[in-house]
Copies of this chain bind each other. A is one copy, B any other.
């Protein structure tokens, strides 16, 4: 369980004066990402990250005071900005969305998201960051539902946010219970068919 060999990279890196060294931030985030990829969650300790990045622990704690803060930083660094693609029918748009997130969540970078949700259960700062992120993603998803609503695709009385939440919730649950091998299109149907005009 102790793997002290070659844990450090890059020859040297010193202070560049009385201002923050971008290379340090870079090295630390990269180290965190690598550790996550190589040793999983348990491998991501402040100690190990500092070692691998050849950074002082003091430096690390200065910029990322908690493990949660580091997790969030790593996630925000690795996630691309997914823009929903309007496929004409809501069902296809959502199927594409499911397909995309499931694929991403399966990657080492994407797995961080599950860890963030987990960490949020015991770290208030992470919980707050997660909540902001959830609201942001919910809003864009609700917007997509809005497009469909405007097209008259959905039955009367649908609230975009409510439906968007159901769409998100099912994805999150699949993530938390390790069932990302789902058929995205089938899942989209299971969640949406009830709300689409003419599907009854």
Contacts and interface: CB of A to CB of B under 8 A. Distances in A.
A190 B165 contact: yes
Contact of A118 (B122, B170, B195): B122
What 3 A-B pairs have minimum CB-CB distances, sorted nearest first? A194-B194, A162-B190, A118-B118
B169 A127 contact: no
A197 B155 CA distance: 12
- How many copies of this chain does one complex carry? 2
Interface string A166-200: 10111011001110000000000011011101011
Interface in A99-132: 114-115, 117-122, 127, 130-131
A1 B177 CA distance: 34
A155 B192 CA distance: 13
Interface residues of A, number: 40
Contact of A114 (B114, B121, B131, B197): B121
Contacts of A169: 166, 169-170, 172-173
Contacts of A199: 155, 157
Contacts of A191: 162, 166
